[in-house]
Each structure stands twice: as structure tokens, then as C-alpha cells.
Amino acid sequence: MAAPQFPLDPSLAALIIAHYEGETQQGIFHGHGRATFINGQVYVGSFHGGRMHGHGALTWPDGVSYEGDFAFNEVSGRGKYVWPDESWYEGDVSRGRRHGLGFFMSSNRVTSYEGSWVHGYQHGYGKLVYDELQGIEYEGDWVTGQRHGKGTMKYASGNVYEGDWVDGKKAGKGTMHWFDAAETYDGDWLDDVQHGAGVHVWKTKEKRGNRYEGEFANGVRDGYGVFYYANGARYEGHWEDNVKHGLGLFFFEDGTIYEGEFVRDRMVDMNDNKNKNAETLPTLVLYIDDILRHEDKARALKATQHAVLRANTDLRNVYRHYASCGGTTTSHAPAENNVLMEMRELWRFSAECRLNVSLGKLNRYLLVVRNAQNKAVKKLRIQREKKRRHMNARAMDAIVTPREKWTDIHDPDRVVLFREFCEILVRIAWDDALERGEVDMTVADAFTYLYDSKIHDHASTPMLPMEAIEISVHSLEMQTVFQKYQELLEKLFAQYSGPAATPESDLHMTTGNFVLMLKEKRGLGALGVPGVLKCLRKTNDEDGETDFDPFLLDAELIYPEFLEAIAKVAMASATRNLPMPVLVAQYIRDTFEKPPPAMTLRRLTTMVQSKKSLAHI
């Protein structure tokens, strides 16, 4: 505010000031003084040109007091307010109101606010402690005294909400951790309740592993959603008021399917979907008709299912072990044992068992498994419709097979049920047999070979240094490094993925493009192209010395493998014995953040001479 250029007329001052003691200049209050106003206010402090200006203290008749800066009769600058109930504020003020940064303490001494103020209201970023003794507090964005924007709320129960707020209520995207109930919700909110799309996870002993992904309305499951049960079952379909209601699919733990109507959580036509010979069937159904080549497919399928069931106990222990490795955690969500495996944990299992399968291919295996099971759904729908009406071939073809609609095939959070885990192993085993030239081997024998050679007692085989990096790269310390450079690394990955990386839901980079990136960024170092390819090659040879495979350049890297590849090259290039996170961070910084190398004098001279030679031609 601009300072007035004229002194206050003494006659005007006399109209509002009953008594003054202090310094004057030419009859005008100037310097230090004490003024008692006709309304009972008392000011002690500095005057300038007849106005309160500088440092001073002002007391109101109702007991409110202020001490701090004044600017030409206005309370502006920095100061401290004290109210009769002993609450107080200290910080920036403007025209008598809290404005800027400041701290407020209530009279009960348990409620306080520290942060930004605008025109007397909390506005901007700040922390409000509602009850220090019970730990109730909010830290985040404010608008005109209300929680609005992004913020974190901690409750007396220990529960924590992190996310968006609108007009003091949870609205937008957010995560709620109910620690007292061992539940977590991540998704859309409206008017303080779950509303929209979200993921709800249960972690209590009774429900640990249950997970719902889908639509919510007014705080309950309502609309379309998928419920994953801890025992390996899955429901896909419509919900109403928190229960299954309408058309839906229920995939039992063993892989059998119910397709039809649900009414208030109950299957209407359960008996119509049940196989009459269910008691003679194995307890695990595999949908692998596309890879069975035996003339008697039913017999081949049964043999494969029995082969898997023979390893059932060990496979379940392996599944639980990797599921309990947990995924990413936040400061408010410590790692807890999970029952359902996620893709990131399947990636780790594959690396530790040396399945020699890329992460992208693992993700696509799950897509194939889901769609193979979905084909069985079409058969059930045809059976149901045949009971209701006559159907010709055209009508049956018109029934659509449900397909998985994934926006990102490589989502590390995607759930892998135990039955799906087993079928993925069967498909990996069959592809492995074909690669080894075992064209006459049955699918059952292929699975048994894979299980005996790579899964059973896999922990007894020591890992090679480069293989160990594949595991270490997922540690919290390494993830912190990658998060620090996330924007840079994601930009590089997208840039070198190239136009061939379609569809958008299946973004990947070839090994050849990865090498090209390092070459253009001068990141090959002493390794050169052969050294980098040696780092990236997946091999079961302990000496690691195999002939160069030209097909390696076409191998696909999804984003986590891209990070893993950078870590491998960084460790192989290291000349000092430092911790892995330090070396990788230094390599990323030196390779991708450094400016283009300056042209040396020798190179510049050579270019000039070349131009002169061309000019004489």
C-alpha cells in the first residue's frame, strides 16, 4: 500500500483521539507515543505524520490486543493478536486481517493452524491440528477456510485419507486407509463417500485378500464391478446396494463358471450351470484347448490337470510366498501379507525361477488365460438362451464372447488368481517345449518338466550377479531412485518405443532401440554394444558365454524391464564399489541429464579444414 504523502491534520486527530502522550513534530504526533481513542482503544508505539506507523501495540475495549507492525494507521506487516479467551495468532497481517503466513493457537491449546492465510481465512497450503492429543489433523490445500484441493486427513482412530477435497468434503480421487478395520479404498469420492470407480481391499484375518474393483455409488458397491475372493474365486457383473444383483459371472476357485442372474447375492439358476459329473472332475479346470494337440483332447486335458494337481500343494505355497512379498507401499500403508498375487509378484517369481520369459510376455499370458476362460462363458450363454428360445446358427454366432478391456496390459497391480497362475505355467511350459524342439511331448509332460527343472526347489540354485539385479531393482531404495528421475525416464521410454509400439495399451521398446538410445546419449561407455547386449541377455549358462543372438535386438522391453536394463548397464559400467542406488542414480544423471559434449578444438579445426577443401573443388 502506498504511504500517504501528507501528515494527518491535528484537528482530525482530535476527533478520534481523547488523549495523547508522547513525541510531536510541529503539533503533529510523530515519534513514540501513547494514544487513547474515544472508543476506548489504546495504542502505544511509533507515530509518523500523525498516524500509527512502525512498531506498536493496540488494545481494544473488549480485551483483544495486537502487537506488531503498523502502516499508516492500518494493522499491516507482521504481528501477534491475542484474544480474551487466550487464543492467539502470530504472523503476517494486512489491513487488520490475517494475511500471508502465520500460526494460530486456540484457547483449548489442542487446536492450531500453521500455514497460509488470505483475508482472515485459511487459504493456500497449511496444517490444521484439530486435536493434538488424539492426533486429528489435516495438512494440505485450503480455500476460504475450507479443505479444498489436495490434502491428508488423519483421524483419532488412526485412519488416514489422502487425496482430493471440495468444500471441506472428500471429493475427486483419493485413498482411504481404515487401519482400525484393516481396509483400504483407492478411487473416486463425492460428498465424503466412495462414488465412482475404485478399488477396495480387505486385510483382516477373516477377509484378507478379498478385493473389489469397480463402480461405487453413495459409499457402496453399485454398478458394474469385479470381486476377487481370497480363495481364488471371482465375480464379474452387476451390483446393487453392496450385493450381487443382475446378470453376472462367477468363476469358482477350480475354474468352473456360473453365468446368469443374481438376486440379492444369490445365484438364481445354479443347478443349470452345474456339471452333472462334477464329482468325477478334477478340482482345477484349465482352459487350454488351443494348445492341446492330442487326438483325444479330453484325455489330454485331464492328464494336464492331474499333472498340475500333483504339484498343487507346492504351487500353492509358492503362490502364497510371492503374494506375501507385497506391492508398493506408502508412508501410511505399511507392507502387509497379501493372499492374492499381483503381476509385479509374478514378474519376481519368473525372474527367480529363471523361466526366461519377458515381463511383457507374462502379461500377455494372463490376457490369453482370461480370454480363454471367457470363451467358456459364451458356451454357457448359448446354453441359457437355448432353454428360453429356439436358436439357429446365426443367433448363436451373434452372442458375443466377453473380452478383457485393459487400458494397460502391463499394469503391475493386476490380480493373478491361483488358477490363472497355474494355467500361465502350463502355457509357459508348452512354449518352452516347442522352443526346445519337443514337438511330440504332451502338454502334461511339458508342465512336469518345467516344474521339476525350474520351480521345485528353485531356491537352492544360486543366482548370477546380473540375475540378482533383476530382483534388487524392485527394492524400495531403487524405486526411490527411479521416482526421482521418473519424468526423464518415461520421456525417454516413450521416445524410443517408436511408432511400432501399438496398441497404446501395449507400449514397449525393443532391445535394439535401447542400444540405439545409449549410443545416441553416449551411455555405452567401455562396454560397447556387445557388452550391453551381454548384460541384457537372459541365459541359463553359468559362464554366460554364448554366441551372439541377432534376435535379441528384437526382444521387447516394457517399462519395468527398461529400468532393469538401465540398472544392469550402470552396474556393469561401474568403476567404483558403491551401493547400487548410488551407481544407478549417477549413471542416469551423467548419461541422460548432462548437456551434449562440447566440441573440442581439434574436431572444430578438422571441420573447418574439410569445408575449405570442399570450397576448392
Could you tell me if residue 237 is inside a domain? Answer: yes
Q: Cβ of 566: how many Cβ atoms within 10 Å? A: 25
340 and 417 both lie in a single domain: yes
Average pLDDT of every residue of the chain:
83
Minimum mean pLDDT among 72-81, 228-237, 287-296, 390-399: which range? 390-399
428 and 516 both lie in a single domain: no
475 and 451 both lie in a single domain: no
Give the CATH number for residue 499: 1.10.238
Span 161-170, mean pLDDT?
97
Distance CA 62, CA 81 (A): 13
207 and 346 both lie in a single domain: no
Could you tell me if residue 85 is inside a domain? Answer: no
Identify the bridge partners of residue 131 per DSSP, sorted by sequence position: 136
Predicted local confidence at residue 567, as pLDDT: 92
270 and 325 both lie in a single domain: no
Could you tell me if residue 238 is inside a domain? Answer: yes
Predicted local confidence at residue 110, as pLDDT: 92
Predicted local confidence at residue 604, as pLDDT: 40
Could you tell me if residue 56 is inside a domain? Answer: no
pTM as predicted: 0.67
Indicate whether 599 pLDDT > 90.
no
Distance CA 57, CA 203 (A): 58
Distance CA 109, CA 127 (A): 15
441 and 500 both lie in a single domain: no
Q: Which of 430, 439, 438, 435 is nearest to 540 (CA)?
A: 435
Predicted local confidence at residue 119, as pLDDT: 96
Could you tell me if residue 218 is inside a domain? Answer: yes
Predicted local confidence at residue 8, as pLDDT: 64
Span 343-362, mean pLDDT?
89
503 and 414 both lie in a single domain: no
Q: How confident is the model at residue 130 (pLDDT cuts 50, 70, 90)?
A: very high
C-alpha cell at 192: 465424503
Please, what is the angle between helix 511-520 and helix 486-497, to 10°?
A: 120
Domain that residue 207 falls in: 171-276
Indicate whether 322 pLDDT > 70.
yes
Strands (E), 74-219: 74-82, 88-94, 97-105, 112-118, 121-131, 136-143, 146-154, 160-166, 169-178, 183-190, 193-202, 211-217
Span 86-102, mean pLDDT?
97
**pLDDT tens digits for 208-262?**
778 999 999 999 999 999 999 888 888 988 999 999 998 888 888 888 888 778 8
249 and 226 both lie in a single domain: yes
Predicted local confidence at residue 542, as pLDDT: 43
Distance CA 152, CA 160 (A): 7
264 and 294 both lie in a single domain: no
Q: How confident is the model at residue 331 (pLDDT cuts 50, 70, 90)?
A: very low
Q: Which of 491, 112, 554, 171 is nearest to 360 (CA)?
A: 554
426 and 516 both lie in a single domain: no
Q: Which of 420, 438, 461 is the last residue of a domain?
A: 461
Distance CA 272, CA 306 (A): 26
Q: Which of 461, 488, 521 is the last residue of a domain?
A: 461
How many structural domains are present in the chain?
Answer: 3
Could you tell me if residue 125 is inside a domain? Answer: no
**pLDDT tens digits for 496-516?**
886 654 566 678 888 899 999
Asked whether the bond before 282 is cis by omega within 30 degrees of 0, the reply is: no
Amino acid letter for position 312: N
Minimum mean pLDDT among 137-151, 385-399, 445-459, 491-505: which range? 385-399
C-alpha cell at 51: 498516524
Could you tell me if residue 435 is inside a domain? Answer: yes
- Cβ distance 553 to 512 under 8 Å? yes
**pLDDT tens digits for 442-491?**
999 999 999 999 998 765 556 566 666 777 777 888 889 999 999 999 99
322 and 239 both lie in a single domain: no
Indicate whether 280 pLDDT > 50.
no
C-alpha cell at 373: 476362460
Could you tell me if residue 587 is inside a domain? Answer: yes
476 and 448 both lie in a single domain: no
**pLDDT tens digits for 36-74?**
999 999 999 999 988 999 999 999 999 999 999 999 999
Give the CATH number for residue 213: 2.20.110
Predicted local confidence at residue 9, as pLDDT: 64
